[in-house]
Structure 1
Amino acid sequence: MAGIFNPLRSTTKMTGMEFLGVFAFIIGFYNVILIGGVGYLTRDWPRNGEVFWGFEDGLWDHPEPNHKILPWVAEFYAVVSAIPLAGMTLLYQALRYRYDKVVLVLCVMDVWMYTCAFFSHMTLYPPLNAVTLTSVLTNSLYTFFMYSWMAGGPLKSTPVRAIVTIAAWLVIVQCVRTVPAMFGHRGGVPALLVIQVPAVIAATLGAAWMRRSCAEREKATFGPLLLAGALLVLAMGVSVIEVVYGQYCQDRFFGNFPVFHVIIHTLEQIGIYLYGVMVSSIRHTINEPRKGAKLEYCGGWLPYLRLAADSSKGVEKAAVNVVADDSPRGGSGRYNLRKRVTKTPTTGSEGATDESTTTE
Structure 2
Amino acid sequence: MTALHDFSLAVESGEFITILGSSGSGKTTALNALAGFMPVSSGDIRIGGRSVTNLPPERRELGMVFQNYSLFPHMSVAENVAFPLKMRGTARKDIDGRVKRALHAVQLEAYRARMPRELSGGQQQRVAIARAIVFEPPVLLMDEPLGALDLKLREALQFEIKSIQHQLGCTVVYVTHDQREALAMSDRIVVLRDGHIAQVGTPLDMYDQPRSRFVAQFIGQTNLFPADLGSAGQISIPGLGISWTDARPATRSVPYFISVRPEHLTRRPGRDGDVRIDATLDEAIFLGDVIDFSARHSSGTAIHFREPRIASAPRLQRGDTVSLAFSPGDAALVPDL
Give the TM-score of the pair, scaled to structure 2.
0.24
Judging by fraction of residues, say which structure has more helix: 1
Greater CA radius of gyration, 1 or 2?
2
Judging by fraction of residues, say which structure has more strand: 2
Give the TM-score of the pair, scaled to structure 1.
0.23
